[in-house]
Amino acid sequence: MMSGSKGLNPHEPAHKWVVDLGTRPSIIICLSQLNFIMIFSIIYLIKYLIIDYLQQIEHTNNNHLIERIELIMGITAKELAKKLNLSAAAVSMALNKKPGVSTATRQLVLDAAEKYGYDFTRISEKHSTTGSIYFVLYKKHGTIVADTPFFSQVAEGISLACKKHGYKLNISYVYEDEDTLRQQIEDIQYSDCCGIILLGTEMEPENLKPFLELPIPLVLLDAYFETISCDCVLINNNQGAYLATRHLIRKCKKQPGYLRSAYRISNFSERASGFYNAVRSAGMSASKCIVHSLTPSMEGAYADMTELLESGEELASCYFADNDLIAVGAMKALKQKGYRIPEDISIVGFDNLPIGSVIEPNLSTIHVPKQYMGKIALERLLSRMQDCAQPPVKTEVSTTLIKRRTVAG
């Protein structure tokens, strides 16, 4: 009860009121302190309830929580492939509506993509004017695809065309090793790549398959395979070799020999056809041609030709070489053994590399418009990116004969 001697004064501040608990000591409680204690208690209670709820989720429905997070954040195609136990290529083909997967698999992927919040705008971005063009150089053994002016000039043509059309260019080397190749192709697939120009100089048909499975427009450069349906830009190798061989026959009036690459690729096979076509067209027997197999590099051809000369093999009076590097290496070996070019032996190369115009004597050769090849490949790729339903096109770039000083007559 209230103490009579200490009566309650209504004019005093509320926080100074005294509560008398009988014989017990008086407890003075400030209302402001009481409010703080209550708020703190409520916060602690809420925190306890949240922790308890999250623990229940973790133990009873953890997978559902993960799915909710994925739905909010959006799943990637790579994650989707792992979740569905499918290959990344199969998921990409399904998402991009490309052939190569069954209707059931395609529907499974699309349903899962929608369920887990896949961002479908990524697909449209692949086909927009944004992104990078990838110039991919496939190296099987590296003997032919090396750091030579041929490939640097092709790359320059692609680069100039990319700048003209507002695209970035990314130059990438890929290697034949299966594990490395798979990872490199996957890296390209999940990059900002919107189109691929694939240098197929050292490729065979089976090497092309994983690239064609990508959901990205592609043009094959410097190769063509009868069994593969895809856009390709290449040299008219048959025509170039024919022109070179006919020139030798007309000037030298002798049966031409052939400095043939020891590495057989599609380009060299086509040049062999052109060589033998010219021989037969001149009324000569193809079986009587002297053929030497040389490494298609300057150092390799020099070493092989030196060994051949030391062994005393029969020589022809004129030769067509599969490329300029073979021609230059063979010339060096011949000159060191005392043969005069072109008085004793005439030679015509192929590619018109810069070294041919500076060696002595200057090398007669077949000119290939290398920058133009890169430009045409890029333009064909852009056309494919605009309309992926159009039929594949094979584009052959013509060559011209450059007459210099290595052919007699």
| Tens digits of residue pLDDT in 186-212 | 889 888 899 999 999 999 999 999 999
DSSP helix, strand, coil percent of the chain (3-state; round to 5):
50, 15, 35
Q: What pLDDT, on the 0 to 100 scale, is given for residue 290?
A: 98
Q: Taking CA 37 as the corner, what is the angle to CA 35 and CA 40, rounded to the nearest 5 degrees?
A: 110
Q: What is the rounded CA–CA span in Å between residue 89 and residue 186?
A: 9
Alpha carbon 264 to its chain centroid, in Å, reads 24
Antiparallel, parallel or unpaired: β 400-402 and 365-367:
antiparallel
Q: What pLDDT, on the 0 to 100 scale, is given for residue 149?
A: 82
Q: What is the rounded CA–CA span in Å between residue 103 and residue 110?
A: 11
Alpha carbon 226 to its chain centroid, in Å, reads 22
Instruction: Give the number of other CB atoms < 10 A from CB of residue 139.
Output: 17
Q: What pLDDT, on the 0 to 100 scale, is given for residue 409?
A: 82
Query: What is the total residue count of the chain?
Result: 409
Residue type, 341: I
Strands (E) in 98-178, as ranges, are: 132-139, 168-175
Q: Per DSSP, what are the bridge partners of residue 221?
A: 199, 233
Q: Convert the pLDDT of each residue in 116-147 to its tens digit.
A: 888 766 565 554 456 899 999 998 876 677 76
Q: What pLDDT, on the 0 to 100 scale, is given for residue 388?
A: 84
Q: What pLDDT, on the 0 to 100 scale, is given for residue 84?
A: 87
Instruction: Give the number of other CB atoms < 10 A from CB of residue 194.
Output: 22
Q: What pLDDT, on the 0 to 100 scale, is given for residue 47?
A: 63
Q: What is the rounded CA–CA span in Å between residue 43 and residue 49?
A: 10
Residue ranges in the chain whose pLDDT is less than 70:
1-37, 40, 44, 47-74, 97-101, 120-130, 142-143, 147, 178
pTM above 0.85, yes or no: no
